[in-house]
A and B are shown apart, each in its own frame.
Chain A
């Protein structure tokens, strides 16, 4: 069974750093893209970026380029989304999702989400 399991909710202060995770199982982790999607509470879905763990090819939305870093550790089948300096506006739910194709296509399996709250 394909599963993406994300790390737990986080409460951070502005200026702090953060790295959240997404562990894949039940499939070949290096053969599929992992994408990250932001959802501010009560709002829509914002596509952030995508990584192909097989060769670490990473693409970002211009809206998030330079604001976050996407990475992966194939030895533990885990993808990451990290911030070096959090702001209150980074508060949101973040989902990882699996995708296929040459640069991603449909996103067929999703993690349960990680809620990030940034508040002083």
Chain B
């Protein structure tokens, strides 16, 4: 199985801050990397597919980059509604493993 390691596991930031989450794969996964947002009590929501492809309707303050084994997810200016847990997921190999999640809180 490919292991996905997210960092940090939790993060406290202020409104307007730039926030970056990293995701490292245990082996190369090319561009096969997604990012999801999960608000408590809700199912995950797809934000970004294929490393950097922002899904329709997702605010442009969200972005993704990277390749191979190292990937980043960035919120350019944190908003109160961004409070959630964020997950990366690889789909290069079955099982389509998730990172352990990054819980984002407002400072």
Contact = CB atoms under 8 A, between A and B. Distances in A.
Give the size range of B's interface with the partner. Answer: 20 to 34
Interface string B41-76: 001111001100001000000000000000000000
A48 B94 CA distance: 10
Interface of A: 35, 37, 44-50, 59-63, 95, 97, 99, 101, 103-108, 110-113
A106 B5 CA distance: 18
Contacts of A49: 95
A106 B46 contact: yes
Contact of B43 (A46, A99, A104, A111): A111
Contacts of B44: 37, 45, 95, 97, 107, 110
20 contacts: A35-B96, A44-B87, A44-B98, A44-B101, A45-B44, A45-B89, A45-B98, A45-B101, A47-B97, A50-B96, A60-B94, A61-B1, A61-B95, A99-B91, A101-B91, A103-B91, A103-B94, A106-B50, A107-B36, A108-B49
